[in-house]
Amino acid sequence: MSASTSLLGRPLGALRRLGGGPLTRLSTLVLVGFVLVALFAPWLAPQDPAFGELGDTFAGPGAAHWLGTDGGGHDTFSALLEGTRTSLAGPLAVVLFATLAGIAVGLFTAWRGGWVDSLVGRVLDILFAFPALLLAILAVALFGKGLTAPVLAMAVAYLPYTARLVRGLTAQEKVRPYIAAYQVQGHAPVFVALRRLLPGIMPTVLAQATVNFGYALLDLAALSFLGLGVQPPTPDWGAMINQGQAAVLEGQPLSAIVPAVAVVLVVVAFNVVGESLGDRLAGRES
């Protein structure tokens, strides 16, 4: 127990208890790192990413610019750090909305059963036919560029996945004796569903939300890459890749490659952590 009293012992111990292989631990560290960067970006960035030195375009990596500069003389490292904020906040909002709404829909339909259940099931089936990125593009066409409309549209597109998972899990749990016991004792259905049933299935839902976060990040980065999402000068990874494209043809791919590597790294980390959570919950070793 002496280790847990030291300053570092606690988080490291938590990481160890999280289990999984070295890959899972590494991925967790990567995610924690990026979240910290997102929180403290303005203090960490060596320069203002919106400030371009026109005499210093396409500088290579060096002491002045750790990851070089882009075609407008902007410091790529600083833009990468500041871009972490929008790049993570967007998917967070998508997953938050989709998970909360999905839990509500899934719990309600499974609890209610009958025609409501089958009707909502059909509606969700139809929503599956609308891919998230397409719905986000349609939202931009209707409401204009930016993050708000696409985030809401993507939450609608991700909702069926959570709703179906929660519905399935709830239907399984509902018939177990402990639920009947609570009902016999006269507890209100809302109480039993939210306070007794939901906590039991929550870890599985969170594992899925983790994987969804990675996909939502990809979709939003793609939207910004197309020039329809986050608009410059707001720093964003997808928008950075979009702006670095022209430089790629001039043989200067660094300012596009750096944010691309960040996107891939974060998505791999989210997938590894989410799947390892899911595997452990399902009781199988990968």
Token readout for 108 is 């309600």
Q: Which stretch binds other proteins (CB under 8 A): 1-9, 87-95, 97-105, 241-249?
A: 241-249
Please classify residue 105 by burial: count the beta carbons closer than 10 Å to its beta carbon, then call 0-12 exposed, 13-18 middle and 19+ buried. buried
In the complex, least distance from residue 240 CB atom to other proteins, rounded to whole angstroms: 11
Selected from 18, 104, 152, 226, the binder of other proteins by CB under 8 A is 226
Calpha distance 231→42 (Å, rounded) = 19
Q: Which is nearer to other proteins, 103 or 267 (CB)?
A: 267
Q: Which stretch binds other proteins (CB under 8 A): 32-40, 165-173, 195-203, 215-223?
A: 215-223
Calpha distance 133→158 (Å, rounded) = 10
| Binding to other proteins, residues 90-129 (CB under 8 A) | 125-126, 129
In the complex, least distance from residue 54 CB atom to other proteins, rounded to whole angstroms: 24
**x/- site string to other proteins, residues 242 to 271, per CB under 8 A?**
--xx--xx-x-x--xx--x--xx--xx--x
Selected from 272, 273, 277, 278, the binder of other proteins by CB under 8 A is 272
Q: What angle do CA 76, 77, 83 make, to 5 degrees?
A: 85
Calpha distance 68→77 (Å, rounded) = 7
Q: What are phi and psi of 67, to 5 degrees?
A: -115, 25
What SS3 state is found at 75? strand
| Binding to other proteins, residues 141-200 (CB under 8 A) | 141-143
Q: How many angstroms separate the first and last alpha carbons of the chain? A: 30
Token readout for 152 is 């809401």
Q: Which is nearer to other proteins, 8 or 129 (CB)?
A: 129
Token readout for 36 is 């910290």
Positions touching other proteins (CB under 8 A) are: 125-126, 129-131, 133-134, 137-138, 140-143, 214, 218, 221-222, 225-228, 238, 241, 244-245, 248-249, 251, 253, 256-257, 260, 263-264, 267-268, 271-272
